[in-house]
A = this chain, B = another copy of it.
Amino acid sequence: MFGCLVAGRLVQAAPQQVAEDKFVFDLPDYENINHVVVFMLGTIPFPEGMGGSVYFCYPDQSGMAVWQLLGFVTNEKPSAIFKISGLKSGKGSQHPFGAMNLPQTPTVAQIGISVELLENLAQQTPVASAAVSSVDSFTEAPEELIPRYENFQRRLTQNPLFWKT
């Protein structure tokens, strides 16, 4: 469903699926990475009303995983470039990968993708420094999601299970 490309390296198209709705790519030698591209392969779209939040995870000095929200991919915006070179000393943020205990290796980071309701994505704020440009990265407050979110809410009111059909 997803691909991940570190600029300068070979593309990865086989993430580890760590939960039904969560996917992880390893990023070896992450300290030498500037930009990461996350994209949908075009084979399977998100279920209607859903999208993916994209996280960067790296080990802090004590080996604990630090997670930062980079941005989003959706059926309407199925790819994004993120700049991760400025994030390596940042503070962690809330994330949905909490209980997974991904093995931490000092030189290996991760990209995590969590499939969620657009409703939830619209309430999340990515780290500003991950934005390559507002056009490309979709890391700003996702205004474009709001009309779809309102539409989603309206349909949800009419039929709480519409998105399952």
Contacts and interface: CB of A to CB of B under 8 A. Distances in A.
Nearest to A6: B79
Identical subunits present: 2
A136 B8 contact: yes
Residue from the set A8, A10, A32, A133 with the largest chain B CB neighbour count within 10 Å: A8
Interface residues of A, number: 27
Contacts of A35: 81, 132-133, 136
A110 interface: no
Nearest to A9: B79
Contact of A42 (B10, B32, B137): B10
Contacts of A133: 7, 34-35
Contacts of A79: 5-11
